[in-house]
Structure 1
Amino acid sequence: MSSPDILLTNDDGIDAPGLASLREELTAVGDVTVVAPHENQSGVGRTRSSSAVRHDHPWGYSLEGTPADCVAYALNGLDTEFDAVVSGVNDGPNAGNYVVGRSGTVGAGIEAAFLGVPALAVSAYHAVDFFPHPPEEYDFARPARVAADLLDRALATDTYDDVDLLNVNAPVDAPEPDARITRPTHDYDLDVAHDGDAVDRDLGDGETAVRLSDSVWPDTEGFENPFPLADRHEERYPHGSDRRAMVEGEVSVSPLSVDHGHAESDSLVGVVESLEAE
């Protein structure tokens, strides 16, 4: 392949340092056009809008919309025929099937894959701090280099004949981390509390404030945990899972499809046949 045309987006917004680092690395791989959210759009998944406002930017455009909006607009609204879409570098990991499903970073890649363009989503974690926040205090060069190298190698092979989207989690603080093919961890729980302080307004008759807190890592609610989990929690995550790779300070590469799968069920055959018989 000649020098590929690469669309770069993210969900942290066009001014995010992770996007700047990734753009710098991707320019060594191909011609890069940025279309990214005008402001932070973390956690919106693959939400789409019916309209958006475009702003000129030295790297391309910012869009007052979601990451999926940015991809949809760029692939169908610009003159360039893009060879790949890259999303990131997100300032925090996107690992585990539930988190991946609601990630704006991954959502951009899913939108690209549905539109027939190979995609890679890359997120960063810190082996001690877990979340590299505030992002301005961290260097995203390592995850950006991993993503650019992986994309370059994948486009030069038949990888995307079988894979729609590569979801990558890479450490910012490991100089030469090993890389592993992984699968998203099936691990999710939710804590629910009736808490009057959960909303910032006075409640009326018949109203109750409800607080919903995700529990996606051991001993944490939300994303507040320190990360050195290997001593106590390593065995909770099986080998081959994305979170096990992160616990061990590795690069996690999860090949994903976007067809939502197809489950075979003999029991369902009987259920549907019984419906037809009524």
Structure 2
Amino acid sequence: MSDSVSPVHILLTNDDGIDAPGIAAMREELTALGEVTVIAPAENQSGVGRARNELAIRQDHPWGYALEGTPADCVAYGLRGLDTDFDIVVSGINDGPNAGNYIVGRSGTVGAGIEAAFLGTPAIAVSSYHARDFFCHPPEEYDFSRPARVARAVTERVCNAGVFDDVDLLNVNAPIDVPNPRMRVARPLADYDQQVDHHDDTDLLPDGDRDGGLDDDERLVRLRDVSWPDTVGYENPFPPRDEYRDRYPVGTDRRAMVDGEVSVSPLSVHHGHTEDPKLASVVESLSEQVE
């Protein structure tokens, strides 16, 4: 760390659980920047978004605390339950990417950052991907040191650059297997659909659920996210071939992943606000009719 950068107080969390290798790699790198306090879920909480709980059990941990709750619970507790003024919240490293608007919205890794932003603390959410394997699973078989170094570099630079004057949260996706990857500011791509299947039996339910089968007026409905178009299961939706580069526009987070780059997406957690004169006209006309 350069002499001009003051040590920072960092709250570190994740959604894969406090024992995940990604958060260990992140902590090792971030300790070079300042004081790191870890408050992370006791168990895996992937895909919970920014869900919150009213009650959570806290357990002592050598790095800080493990919380039997969600990533957002961990951030809420850290920012309001400890006598520490944190400069920034870092969430990750997630063992898989969080790219695309829909995925970002459901990510527990990003959800932790959203909670931080609403509580007035800037945040960085960091996820990893493998250019060939895509998902870094099982995580124990992957080395998270490269995305951890990326996260450290981003954290160090943005803390004193005024980035968070207008940005609430940075969402970062970094490759594990690409040496010296290029960094690109990228927007999350809106690329999502839903597939619905109907079934007449309960074979898809966990053992013991509805052993008596379905009633005559019931059908089992299966809702499946089409988060990665033309992809079945956990195969790589971004193989490095030209047809995929053509599909995803330059400047999007998914195109950055196809090209083996680090995507850095500046996000606002307040969902924006659009001035629409047509809506204003409708509301005005309705106000004259509704008594």
Query: How high is the TM-score relative to the length of structure 2?
Result: 0.93
Q: Is the 8 A contact 2:89 2:113 kept in 1?
A: yes
The CA deviation at 1:208 is 1.6
1:231 matches 2:235: no
Counterpart among 47, 50, 53 of residue 46 in structure 1: 50
Q: Is the 8 A contact 2:50 2:111 kept in 1?
A: yes
Q: Which amino acid aligns with 2:17?
A: G
The CA deviation at 1:156 is 1.8
Secondary structure, aligned partner of 1:183: coil
Structure 1 distance, partners of 2:88, 2:137, is 28
Secondary structure, aligned partner of 1:210: strand
Secondary structure, aligned partner of 2:244: helix
The CA deviation at 1:229 is 4.1
1:199 matches 2:205: yes
Q: Is the 8 A contact 1:199 1:209 kept in 2?
A: no
The CA deviation at 1:265 is 1.1
Q: Which amino acid aligns with 2:263?
A: S
Q: Which amino acid aligns with 2:153?
A: D
Residue 181 of structure 1 corresponds to: 185
Secondary structure, aligned partner of 2:246: helix
Structure 2 distance, partners of 1:43, 1:216, is 13
Counterpart among 64, 67, 74 of residue 71 in structure 2: 67
Structure 1 distance, partners of 2:181, 2:223, is 35
Secondary structure, aligned partner of 1:170: strand
Bigger Cα displacement from structure 2, 48-57 vs 187-196: 187-196
Q: Is the 8 A contact 2:169 2:267 kept in 1?
A: yes
Task: Show the 5 A alignment for 1:1-278.
Answer: 2-195=6-199, 196=201, 197-200=203-206, 201-202=209-210, 203-205=213-215, 206-221=217-232, 223-225=234-236, 227-278=238-289
Q: Is the 8 A contact 2:168 2:267 kept in 1?
A: yes
Secondary structure, aligned partner of 1:176: coil
Which 4+ runs in 1 deviate beyond 6 A?
Answer: none
% of aligned pairs identical? 68
The CA deviation at 1:222 is 5.1
Q: Which runs of 5+ in 2 are unaligned?
A: none
Secondary structure, aligned partner of 1:198: coil
Structure 2 distance, partners of 1:264, 1:162, is 19
Structure with larger Rg: 2
Q: Which amino acid aligns with 1:164?
A: D
Q: Which runs of 5+ in 1 are unaligned?
A: none
CA deviation string 1:60-81 (max 9, x = no partner): 0000000000000000000110
Count of matched residue positions in the alignment of Structure 1 and Structure 2: 278
Structure 2 distance, partners of 1:114, 1:124, is 25
Secondary structure, aligned partner of 1:73: helix
Structure 2 distance, partners of 1:223, 1:212, is 17
